[in-house]
Amino acid sequence: MVKLQFVELASRVQFPLATPKNMQKYTSAQADEVEKLVKPIYARIKNWAHGWLHVKNVAKAAEDLAKLEGVDPVLCKIAGYCHDLGRVDEEERGLVNPEPLALSHHAEFSVRSTREILQKVGIKGGDADQILEAVRVHNKRKYLGENKIAIILQDADRTDGFGKLAMLRFASFNCEMPVEEPQTDEDIDRELGEIKEMFKRHKKLCDKMVGILEYAFGWIDELANTESVKDYIKEGYEFNKKFLEEIESY
């Protein structure tokens, strides 16, 4: 069985997350504007696992978690929309590595694209700097600074590693299995059945998925930045657990 270990966890920093409601300076129209700008960029990504479907889910989770934690939901949603823009550059430069612990340059590439988007929608100064930092550090193992948007974005990104769709994303990206982007809930259920059959027939692939799922639990058990995220993905977390138990029995 493949078991991926985390390196030693750095000491935990307590973050002052509460932000008064009147601190919200931006409107959802600005987030909608960003959505319109980034959607065609994500459409260029060949592997759907980090395409628009993932980004839309992360942006929604970032907005929801921001509201729960008293952080500006619009800025967090915008960070969510921008965080994986660099996946396009990474693919185009042939730098994609599906190993969960592999060094990935996409966050750095995302910063450049995000800067252009923020300029277009008129987000500047400290707010822009916070979003840019959040995007830059989103795939680091654990963010230990005090940037609230970065705290939220890192948790939000990891929420998409739990639940039915996450199984298909891991199978497609990390296990490099022929899984198409699902369009409906029926597609998701059908494809889940298909990947289970593949895991039954291919022990190596199954072991790889087991390792990835065990690794993903660490995102919540060891690395969660907020308490809210644990509750937010409760159902998906239980789903991953059951899925893992099932494929371990093959």
- Residue 80 CB, nearest approach to Fe ion (Å): 8
Cβ distance to Fe ion smaller for residue 139 or 240: 139
**Binding positions for Fe ion, 116-145, rule CB under 5 A:** 139
- Residue 58 CB, nearest approach to Fe ion (Å): 5
- Residue 104 CB, nearest approach to Fe ion (Å): 7
- CB burial readout 37-51, b (16+ within 10 A) else e: bbeebbeebebbbbb
**Residue 146 in contact with residue 91, Cβ under 8 Å?**
no
What is the size of the binding site for Fe ion (CB under 5 A)? 3
Cβ distance to Fe ion smaller for residue 35 or 157: 157
Q: CA angle, 14 as apex, 12 and 19 as ends, to 5°?
A: 145
Maximum separation of any 2 CA atoms in the chain, in Å: 56
Q: How far apart are CA 77 and CA 71, in angstroms?
A: 11
Q: Amino acid identity, residue 63?
A: E
Cβ distance to Fe ion smaller for residue 49 or 74: 49
Q: Amino acid identity, residue 250?
A: Y
- Residue 98 CB, nearest approach to Fe ion (Å): 13
Please give the structure tokens belonging to residue 121: 């929608």
Of 80-88, 182-190, 195-203, 223-231, which segment contacts Fe ion by CB under 5 A? 80-88
**Binding positions for Fe ion, 143-202, rule CB under 5 A:** 157
Q: How far apart are CA 111 and CA 89, in angstroms?
A: 11
Cβ distance to Fe ion smaller for residue 84 or 191: 84
Cβ distance to Fe ion smaller for residue 61 or 244: 61
- Residue 141 CB, nearest approach to Fe ion (Å): 13
Cβ distance to Fe ion smaller for residue 63 or 157: 157
**Residue 174 in contact with residue 99, Cβ under 8 Å?**
yes
- Residue 217 CB, nearest approach to Fe ion (Å): 18
**Binding positions for Fe ion, 191-250, rule CB under 5 A:** none
Dihedral over alpha carbons 185, 79, 14, 18 (to 10 degrees): -90
Q: Is 84 in the site for Fe ion (CB under 5 A)?
A: yes
Interface residues toward Fe ion, by CB under 5 A:
84, 139, 157
